[in-house]
Amino acid sequence: MKEGKWAQLAEERISLFRHDEEIQRGLAHGLPGSPTLVDRTIPTFSRGELPHFAGERGTFLKSPFLEDVNEIEDAEVAVFGAPLDSGATYRPGARFGPQGIRRSTNLFGTYCFELGVDLREQLNMVDIGDVFTIPGNLEKSFDQISQAMAHVYQRGVFPVILGGDHSIGYPTIRGMAPYVDGNIGIIHFDRHVDTQETDLDERMHTTPWFHATNIKNAPATNLVQVGIGGWQAPRAGVEVGRERGTTVITVGDVERVGIDKVAEIALETAWKGAKAVYLSFDIDVVDAGFVPGTGWPEPGGLLPREALNLIRKISAPGLAGLEVVECAPPYDWAEQTALLSARVILDSLAVLVREGHLGKKAAVRDRHAWGPRTAA
C-alpha cells in the first residue's frame, strides 16, 4: 500500500501546463473537432499524444523534434538513433531498431504512476533523429556516431541512444570520453561479455568493451557486466575480462543474492573513482521468450521485472547517458522487444527526474517544448 498511496499523492503535485498547451496547439494547428464531438479538446487532425494508434510523429514518445542540432543546448535530454547493424555476426536487422523503438512508444503516455513522473511536464526532452551511418563500413559509421555523441555530450545535454547493434558501445564512449573530467564507469547489461578484441577479423558487436576500455579514462576495472551467461560467451572475451579485471555478474548471481545486492555491487564498482557512469543495455539480457526481436537471442536471461527494477536502482544515483541496443524489429512479435527497449529508457529517465538529476532545465527558445517553464 505504501507505493500506491505515495503515487496517488505524487500525481497531485505534477503540473498540467504542457498537457494544456498541447491541447491548445492541437486545436490551433489541427482544426477544432467536428460539431458532433462533446469533448471540445479533440482536434480534427491529431497533433498530440492522443490517440495512441494514430498521429505518429516519428519521434520517441511523440516528443518535440529538433531539426537544427545546432540548437541542442536548448534541451536537457536528446534522443537519437544509431541505425547500424554492420557489426552483427548472426542476425542483421538492428538498423531498424531506432525506428521500431520510436514507433512502440506510441503505446505509452508520458506519465508513470508508480514513479510519480510525467515526462511531458517535467523533462525538456527532444528527439534529434538518427546518425547518418554508412552501411558496410563500420569504421566510418563509428566516426559518425562518436561525432554525434560528442556534439550532444559536450554541450551538457543528456544523450539517449537508440541502437543499432552493440558495436556502437565503443564509439559512444569514445565520443563522450574527452569531455569527462575523470574516469567513466560503464554498467553493461547483456548475456554476452563483448570483450574480445576482434570477431571475424573486425570490431564487431561482440567487441565494444575491449576497445572502449582501451580509452584512458574508461578503465576496465570500472566496467560491470550484468546478466552474463549461457552458451554464447566466447572464451577469448572471457580471457580479456579476467586479465583486465572486469566485474561479471551472471543471471545466477541475480537469483542467488537478489536485485538489491546486485545493484549495490554494480554501482559501487562502476562509481569507484569515476566522475560519470554510462548505462549500456543490450535487450538480449532479457530471456529470449520475452524479447524475440533481437540479433542474438539467449534463453535463460533476466525476467522483464528484474531488468526494469535493476534499471531503476542503477539510475537513482545518476547517469551520464544511456543506450539501448540490439532491438531488431524484423524478428519481433507484437512489438514485445521494442516495447521493453522503450521501457528501459522511460524508467531510467523517470527515476533520473524523480531523484533530481534531470528536470531542471527549461527551454528558452520559442519552439515546441516539453518540461518546466522556468529553470529549477
Query: 47 or 349: which carries more pLDDT confidence?
Result: 349
pLDDT beyond 90 at 188: yes
Tell me the mean pLDDT in the region 109-132: 97
pLDDT beyond 70 at 35: yes
**Res 49: pLDDT:** 87
**Res 102: pLDDT:** 96
**Res 1: pLDDT:** 61
Tell me the mean pLDDT in the region 269-291: 98
Kindly report the length of the chain: 376
* Adjacent-strand bridge partners of 199: 202
Q: pLDDT tens across 231-245, in order?
A: 988 899 999 999 999
Residue 193 Cα distances to 93, 208, 230, 306, 320, angstroms: 21, 9, 11, 19, 22
pLDDT band at 37 (very low <50, low <70, confident <90, very high): confident
pLDDT band at 173 (very low <50, low <70, confident <90, very high): very high
Query: 325 or 50: which carries more pLDDT confidence?
Result: 325
Enter the DSSP assignment of 245: T
Q: What angle do CA 108, 130, 162 make, to 5 degrees?
A: 50
pLDDT band at 131 (very low <50, low <70, confident <90, very high): very high
Q: Which residue has the cell 543490450?
A: 282
Average pLDDT of the chain is 95
Count of CB atoms within 10 A of residue 137's CB?
Answer: 13
Cis ω on the peptide bond leading into residue 51 (within 30° of 0)?
yes
Q: Which residue has the cell 554525434?
A: 148
